[in-house]
Structure 1
Amino acid sequence: MIVKNTVFENILDSNGLFQKHFHSTYTIGITHDGFFKSFASNKSSVSYKYSTRIINPHEIHHGNSKSWKYTNFYPSISLLEDIYEQIFFERKIPLFAEHIIEDEILYKLLWNLFNSVYIKSATMNIEINLIETLSYIVKNYTSDRKRNDNFPVEKKIIVRTLEYIHDCIEFTISLDNLVENINLSKYHFIRVFKEYVGLTPHQYIIMSRVNRAKELIIKGESLSIASLNTGFTDQSHFIKNFRKIYGYSPKQLQKKENFFLL
């Protein structure tokens, strides 16, 4: 199925700050009520009722919500690549410059998609709604495209560091570990890392651990196992960081409250 392992979330009331974070997938959603002030790509924008929100993979973003009622889903890079290839006959990753989009047609397309998922409509109907929605987004809002790379940065030294972090996420990672064999001082490493990634190494490691833990919880792991297997020695520390990023607790995700996985 084309949306297999795609997470859909429906949040009824979000209030408070979301700290800087990223997702390895796209984030596409609509606001039903309230508002969300979002910061991404060095600019701020506000999502009000009936607006659409799109975040590119690995794009650093944060924000503030008030009585925010929204529905999101997290399509993979490969899924958007497939859609792009079917439209333009070349395989590229579509990127979107507009973070908040006011488009009534797009809002209705997304609403129909989300509704078909949550009422557990026929598989074919969900797939048709998904293809129509993503095709509309790709054709009307793609601002750039790039070849598929594993990481959002090109410098070999940063790519190797990110690979190391993801390979060793369940272990304690020190700054000494990160600068070993890269011929950079800690000062220059931190500067280069932050310049290309948009986060400090410590922030990136925390975000990566939370994202990996979320994947494990979705697959059925307990909170304690998910946090332990992603390098959190203190479960309360994991819960605190999870809430800062997603605006809800991992227990809500575990109980499948307002969530759906296809």
Structure 2
Amino acid sequence: MRSPANRAIAQYEAIDAGALGADDSTLFWRDPRWHDLECLAARFVRHVYAPHVHDTYALGVILAGAEHYRYRGVEHVAGAGDLVILDPHELHDGRPAEGGYRYRMMYPAPSLMAEIAGEIADGPARAPHFPEAKLTDPEVGHAVARLHALLGQAPEKLQADGAFLETMALLIGRHGRDAPVDRPAGREDKAVARVCEAIEDTLDEDWSMEALATLVGFSRYRLIRCFRRALGVTPHAYRTSRRVIRAKRSLAAGATPAIAALEAGFYDQAHLTRVFKSVVGVTPATFRRGCLT
């Protein structure tokens, strides 16, 4: 029988609730769309992880303070901005430095990482190996932190899919050993045009990246890359721009912000107002008044 330290456990099992102090806090959730991806946002001043292993990767960013941890027999200290990446089935622990630390962590399954590596290579690929337990790479670190925060906000499928695939591809391509070769993307204008047409015709549809990619026989990652090359934006950003344009037309024709929101595929008027102001610079109501006076 394996000892508790060598038994693969879910992340929530690694947190000893009885050891949490008054200054410790945790937020844990799973995202079923990414192989039941476990996500943890935490602040630890007192909590200490006992040695344990996962059957997933452990990937995250230290937001503030510093964490001490032992991994592959070596002591590490990860400070603010550092990226932590641990391979599956590797024994590790964790404890706060003086003053504690805050971090965002996610635990992707090897099958998920192999799936993304295969999309990068446009063919079968193995799950990558990460030889360094701590990385200083601001671009990847910021991308991981932004992705984690986004996943905690229950975003639209297309936005979450694009952010997840691009972030993981950046991490794997830059730091994974046996990382797949990222083939140059062609323009594939016909496929991009087909996806644009589908988005335009169904602005209220909560498309997933997989569904759009299936329309043109691409992998999700290939679609994102071709879209960026052809139009300079992701499918999610393109759809947002088309929704705003549709809303502007409705408002200029006299529709109320609530009606314009529905016609343009936004959830509600508040959703339209938030996005519209960030793009146009004024609220839908102000834009409507300016068009009708």
TM-score by length of 2: 0.47
User: Which residue identity lines up with residue 48 of structure 2 in the other structure?
Assistant: L
Corresponding position of 2:136: 102
**Residues 143 and 4 (structure 1 numbering): CA distance in 2 closer, same or farther, change over 3 Å?**
closer
The answer to whether the Cα contact below 8 Å between 2:48 and 2:94 also exists between their aligned partners in 1 is yes
Task: Please tell me whether residue 77 in structure 1 is matched to residue 110 in structure 2.
Answer: yes
After TM superposition, the structure 1 = structure 2 runs for residues 190-201 of structure 1, keeping only pairs within 5 Å, are: none
Identity of aligned residues (%): 19
Letter of the 1:76 partner, please give it: A
For 2:76, the aligned partner's letter is S
Higher Rg: 2
Equivalent of 1:122 in 156, 159, 181: 156
1:52 alignment counterpart = 83
How far the C-alpha of 1:16 sits from its partner, in A, is 4.2
Equivalent residue letter for 1:9: L
Quote the residue 2:9 is aligned against.
Answer: none
Hey, what's the Cα distance between the residues in 1 that align with 2:70 and 2:44?
Answer: 20
State the Cα distance separating 1:10 from its structure 2 match: 0.6
> Larger relative CO (CA 8 A, sep 6+): 1 or 2?
1
Which of 29, 42, 51 lines up with 2:60 in the alignment?
29
Task: Name the CA distance, whole Å, in 1 between partners of 2:103 and 2:45.
Answer: 9
Q: CA RMSD in A?
A: 1.7
CA distance in 1, matches of 2:76, 2:176: 18
CA contact (8 A) 2:35 2:109 kept: no
For 2:37, the equivalent position in structure 1 comes to 6
Mapped contact 1:96–1:144 kept (Cα < 8 A): no
CA deviation after TM superposition for structure 1 residue 45, in Å:
1.6
Could you tell me how far apart the structure 2 residues matched to 1:57 and 1:70 are? 19
> Pick from 100, 125, 135: which aligns with 2:169?
135
1:112 Cα shift?
Answer: 1.6
Q: CA-to-partner distance for each residue in 1:13-55, whole Å, 9 max, x for gaps? A: 3434322110011111111111111211222221100111011
Letter in 2 for 1:135: A
The 3-state SS of whatever aligns with 1:97 is coil
Q: Within 1, Cα distance between the matches of 2:93 and 2:33?
A: 29
1:64 is aligned to 2:98: no
Give the aligned partner of residue 120 of structure 2: 87
Note closer, same or farther for the CA distance 1:74–1:32 as it changes in structure 2 (3 Å cut). Answer: same
Bigger Cα displacement from structure 2, 33-42 vs 48-57: 33-42
- Superimposed CA distance per residue, residues 185-228 of structure 1 (whole angstroms, 9 cap, x where no aligned partner): xxxxxxxxxxxxxxxxxxxxxxxxxxxxxxxxxxxxxxxxxxxx
- TM-score of the aligned structures, taking structure 1 as reference length: 0.52
Q: Are 1:10 and 1:71, in contact at CA under 8 Å, matched by a contact in 2? A: yes
C-alpha separation in 1, matches of 2:167 and 2:69? 23
Structure 1's unaligned 5+ residue stretches are 146-262
Whole-angstrom distance in 2 between the partners of 1:25 and 1:14: 25
Distance across 2 between alignment mates of 1:20 and 1:129: 32
Shift of 1:125: 0.8
